[in-house]
Amino acid sequence: MAKLYYKYGAMGSSKSAQALMTMFNYEEKDRRVWLIKPAVDNRGDARAITSRVGLRAEADVILPDDDLFDKFMGSCGGFADVIIADEAQFFTPAQIDALRRIVDELDIPVLCFGLRTDFRTVGFPGSIRLFELADSITEIKTICACGRKAIVNARRGPDGNITVTGEQVFIGGNESYEAMCHKCWKEKIRQQRERA
């Protein structure tokens, strides 16, 4: 019986690497994988999923208006054995509903990888919907510089300071984000305010 899986973690927790390793495991067993990512993730090669450890694979790019059920039936003819989605926090709630429909109606497992919250610790609409609908939810852990578990995706502004204002979606890598524990995040914000 197929399930909808959500594997989430802070920036730098190896989500993309795990998505690509999962794809490799399925393909090694002669299973057909439909690898997808949202169009908003346009870092580097916009048509590929890449990880910080150097893994890379071509992926179908999903636009915000795409109906994932229809696209799945069209792109794969509905003949993939599994769907693997990276950066799933950027999918719309309707697209998450379509992935749930694929699991329920076509009995195809869907594995989603993504962030839980943004740089303000506010949930992304796609992540919130996955938490509501997923059969299995797993945290992929990483650590803060202090050694505690990182749960915050701290965003750095051009001046290098942590910011808590701005648009929810800002695509960037290590130059723009740092995974932190909540305590360090709050402490750095406090220190910045005292210096201002």
Q: Which residues are catalytic?
A: 87
Residue 48 and residue 87 in contact, taking contact as beta carbons nearer than 8 Å:
no
Q: 41 is written with which tokens? A: 């993730």
Element (H, E) at 130: helix 125-133
Alpha-carbon span 175 to 160, nearest angstrom: 9
Contacts (Cβ under 8 Å, ≥6 apart) of 8: 15, 89, 113, 114, 115, 116, 127, 130, 137, 138, 139, 140
Q: 120 is written with which tokens? A: 């303000």
